[in-house]
Structure 1
Amino acid sequence: MKIYTKTGDRGETGLYGADRVTKAHPRVEAYGAVDEANSALGLARSLLPSTHLDLHDLLERLQNALFDLGADLATRLGSPYEKNIARMDEKDVEALEEAIDRYMEESPPFTGFILPGGHPAAAALHLARTVVRRAERKVVALGREEPVNPEALRYLNRLSDLLFVLARVVNQREGVREEAWRVKRRR
């Protein structure tokens, strides 16, 4: 199988189910942003010390879930191809909430805004968080034009929260001090 198909050379792509749309379609923008988030998680995983086996496993599961989410977003609601994909559901969101609760116990107390950064893996997790937020905005925009699975939006919202917590956990485990936002003083 060749990696190039030439079917997108005119700026169109196929949704799951063979519908052709422009590559700038809000649905393509939404699942494209999810793909970016997945790559950002891959970067974070590659920078994570090997001693953090639990986080490696969690990030791998999240990356697989983002592929599921991409398929969800690439398949219109009501499509006859829906039966071939696993839509995000309440259990997926609950799994993220459980992970947030678990890792919040390990993260330092939250006292205010912090600057994204610290250990390279933590900085990459912060970057992934912002990419997930962009994906969330793209799904909101898509939802204004076409119906979308509401659990997809909830999933992205919780995922960004989890990535924030994980970044803080990595910094905590690695002994890297977080820098607080210093509010500009009025003159």
Structure 2
Amino acid sequence: MVKLNRIYTRTGDDGSTGLASGPRRLKSDLRLEAIGTVDETNAAIGIARLSLSGEADAAMSRIQNDLFDLGADLATPETGEPLPYEKLAIVDSQVERLEAEIDAMNARLEPLRSFILPAGYAAAAQLHLARTIARRAERLMVALSKGEGEIVSGPALRYVNRLSDHLFVAARIANDEGRADVLWVPGASR
């Protein structure tokens, strides 16, 4: 269980921060950029939840919890050294749950015949914003995974990829099951 007695520690005043597994890294490090963008995704989902209720809100609550798991996963990089505790990591069942939720929501929607603009009802626009932040987190995680000596687990990469899909479909559901989607009209403003 996490226990925070003090919010500030002064240990980061030099521009570094400690990972869960102990080592310190610069706050500008790609791993920290990825963790911060996962956190930003979580905050954007929190804003979207202000406009949601019922199962949509419950799904976003589960996702917010998963995003803390993802942050913990990223904050505990593989080093080959044993940890004195069990690493909290994204697992395949979390990815599979997202896929099942995507499929259930998508079954309620008419197929798309155009790209849609991130607009419509407030909840939809907020979910689209969260989706774009999740895509940035994914790009950072992929870049991190290509770095020398850096490992990002397959389930973590799959989770963040499915998350943006989930947020896209959830935004369509929030837009009156797609009826309030705002379609892109190519060249409309020429």
Match among 97, 100, 105 for residue 107 of structure 2: 105
User: Deviations for 1:60-99, whole angstroms, at most 9, x for unmatched residues?
Assistant: 0000000000000010114533843321122111111100
Q: CA deviation at 1:30?
A: 0.8
Structure 2 unmatched ranges of 5 or more? none
Task: Look up the equivalent residue of 1:114 and give its one-letter code.
Answer: I
1-side partners of 2:151 and 2:68: how far apart?
Answer: 20
Q: Partner of 2:30 in structure 1?
A: 26
Task: Look up the equivalent residue of 1:4 and give its one-letter code.
Answer: Y
Q: Could you tell me whether the CA contact under 8 Å between 1:142 and 1:148 is conserved in 2?
A: yes
Match among 7, 11, 16 for residue 15 of structure 2: 11
Query: What is the percentage of aligned positions where both structures have the same residue?
Result: 49
1:182 and 2:185 are equivalent in the alignment: yes
Q: CA deviation at 1:110?
A: 1.4
With 105-114 and 159-168 compared, the bigger mean Cα shift is at 105-114
User: Deviations for 1:135-176, whole angstroms, at most 9, x for unmatched residues?
Assistant: 000101110111111111110110100100000001115x86
User: Deviations for 1:1-42, whole angstroms, at most 9, x for unmatched residues?
Assistant: 221111111100000111011001111111111000000110
Instruction: Report the TM-score when normalising by structure 2.
Output: 0.90
2-side partners of 1:36 and 1:17: how far apart?
Answer: 22
With 65-74 and 142-151 compared, the bigger mean Cα shift is at 142-151
1-side partners of 2:68 and 2:109: how far apart?
Answer: 28
User: Deviations for 1:100-150, whole angstroms, at most 9, x for unmatched residues?
Assistant: 000001223211200001111110000000000000001011101111111
Q: Partner of 1:76 in structure 2?
A: 77
Match among 105, 122, 125 for residue 123 of structure 1: 125
1:157 and 2:161 are equivalent in the alignment: yes
Instruction: Report the TM-score when normalising by structure 1.
Output: 0.91
With 37-46 and 74-83 compared, the bigger mean Cα shift is at 74-83
2-side partners of 1:108 and 1:5: how far apart?
Answer: 52
